[in-house]
Structure 1
Amino acid sequence: MQTNLADFIKNTPEGEEADSILRKCVHCGFCTATCPTYQLLGDELDGPRGRIYLMKQVLEGKKATFKTMTHLDRCLTCRNCESTCPSGVQYGRLVDIGRKIVEQQVERPLSQRLMRTALKETLPRKWLFKPAMAAGQMVRPLLPQVLKNKVPAKQDAGVWPRTQHARKMLLLEGCVQPSMSPNINSATARVLDALGVQLVVAPKAGCCGAIRYHMNDQDGGLNDMRNNVDAWWPYVESGVEAIVMNASGCGVTVKEYGHLLAHDPKYAQKAQRISELTKDVSEILPAFEAELAQKLQGKIKERVAYHPPCTLQHGQQIRGKVEGVLRAAGVDVQLCADSHLCCGSAGTYSVLQPELSYQLRDNKLANLQATKPDVIVSANIGCQTHLQSGTDTPVTHWIELVDRALSKAA
């Protein structure tokens, strides 16, 4: 694709990156076949190719409109199009650049501004989100369904192992996960403890930065990232083997720290090292597959349906590892039809675009239920909560399934 960037962005790092991405696009349209919003709406401008065309216009100097903003807002940033694209178009990076510019040119309605401000200022701050979630859980039976969907029942975190091991890895607790589903973190720690690895948490680490960054507060998101680099660096220097992620939405962001902070001379080198050390827990456990298979054989009898989050299969390009670990342990794990498509959670998308989000959820659940599962597992807290809001079938993190089986084997 030929481009002619406007002066306001020409010769800037963002302009050079956008230009490089745009030039890779050949308008083949393969991406539209796997775009969830295009499938629902049938509008070219609600598919990757159409959105790329809109962003190209803005980058070349055409003023953005509210219509432009609306089509970009409807994008889930699931990055399915990246998995499909034969030309390697990095759509996720382009849409971050495009959204930031459109946000600067178009004023949002007051209601949208208030909602987005509330989300980006509350969710990343555990000291605000934790009491809010606790209050919601206390009155959960009285809440309207739309709020009840976002407030899971209170969960016991379980015991965090205290055994000291020579092998140590860091864990990012996350900003909402400790309040919404605290057992995910402790289950991860217990599983790795059983395999001779100690999980450590850096007290000063916080939000991965994704919430603010993807809501066009990119400066705020980058500051969250810098905070984590500072919090983790002493542990990196002391020799931790990896930074473990059990929320794939956080993992895909931390793996991009090196790229996102590449132009910050103080943080660029450290951020790159952080990204190199970052591993989803599904990348850690295959090294212990034989040991896990021996411990777990016959312990998980449920029929399991696995929903791979977009941030894992498209963002991090990790496929087959969760299923591999579970199947090696003798688990009957199924992938549903159209398992590559988004469930509609997509971070704050389910709050900001509820109609599309719930359509996608219901489509996903229909496919998952067709496998006749006893339990549905996923690898991201957002997907897990979103899916559970539409079904009575238990939805849990796959690491919790492994943890429960290990406790039976002990």
Structure 2
Amino acid sequence: MEIVIWFIVVGALLIAMALGGSVLKRLPLSTSMLYLLVGFALGHFGVGQLDPYAQKKLLETLTEVAVIISLFTTGLKLRAPLRAPRWRIAVRLAGVGMVVTVGLVATAGVWLLGLSLGAAVLLGAVLAPTDPVLASDVQMEHPFQRDTLRFGLTGEAGFNDGTAFPFVMLGLGLLGLHPLGEGLWRWVAVDLVWAVVAGLGVGTLLGGAVGRIVLYLRRTHREALGLDDFLALGLIALSYGVALLLHAYGFLAVFAAGLALRRIEKQSNKGRPPEDVVQSARVHPEAATDPEHAPAYMANAVLNFNEQIERIGEVSLVVVLGLLLSRLPLPSEALWFTPLLFLAIRPVSVLVSLVGSDTTRPQRGLMGWFGIRGIGSLYYLFYALNHGLPEALAHQLVPLVLTVVAVSIVVHGISVTPLMQRYERTQSEEDTAQA
């Protein structure tokens, strides 16, 4: 009987989102909030039961798949040249911001939560990455947007799901669950330098090579047509698998593969207005094989498919989060730790990261607020559980991290529509005044 209820609930939820999605965009609500509520209600009434400790491997796999699909999508959205100032903002947030966040969370973990140094660093690494899955309302809506705020948050979310990994390994190493080497030499050489550089390199090479092969076959021989969904999933799996085989970070490889595929389109359409590129890819009758339109057609088709898969992943995992929360007690420390993270640690990390940048005060303020935590944090949590996290520590961290992610979904979901509408109205007025 339970499976019948699940079919009904999932079907009704998907149809409701299809019918009411445009209405939600105008309200101080997000789709993730509704998915979370549905999951919590199902768990509360006993429909579906998940144990985060007993089913940790399944949960790690589910979150892993969702993150790599979303990271590839994120890479495809970032069309700006690598020399553009917007990239420096994204890299600062994902680099300096990541280090500051891990350090401040670790400090709070040691002094306020009573955690060991290893556990505190691990908590900081789990909660530091912002989310590429749940933050779509504040990220790039399409590859041709030029807004610094949206580009910075999108680029940060793409990079920092990978740059968090060295700190996760450091936390596990300090707990005795991962080799760090004497004087941390192995962590620096392998977990930090090699894994990051190799991950970005693998994704860049494979994304560029696969994209050029497909374009050559389409332009020259009118082959390799259709099945762009297979192209997307194949490139994701290939990049991720090769990176893991080389002991590099697969998250960075997948993100870089998306960037490389988009870069091919950008280079092929150099000098053409973005509006012309989009229009030709959509309406040209033989765009897939036309030498001029094929790159834009390929990038657009792959991005559209990935965005659909990303939405399905969002529905599934946020409902799962609601189910998990319905079975766990609310940790008392979350009542003060969550505001500390969102109202102090995140804004401080953004301010430190953007010292000397040309961002405006409203942009820095919104970047400081919209540090949305989500599926990436859940993945790192379950990754740690599957690598031997002590039971007592697991029972302390799991409810705290799940609660932080749920609160982020709610408070950021409520605030995103009014704040972004106000920001875009202000930007429009400034652009008009300068014209």
TM-score, normalised via structure 1 length: 0.28
**Structure in which a larger fraction of residues adopt helix:** 2
**Structure in which a larger fraction of residues adopt strand:** 1
Q: Which structure is higher in RCO with an 8 Å CA cutoff and minimum separation 6?
A: 2
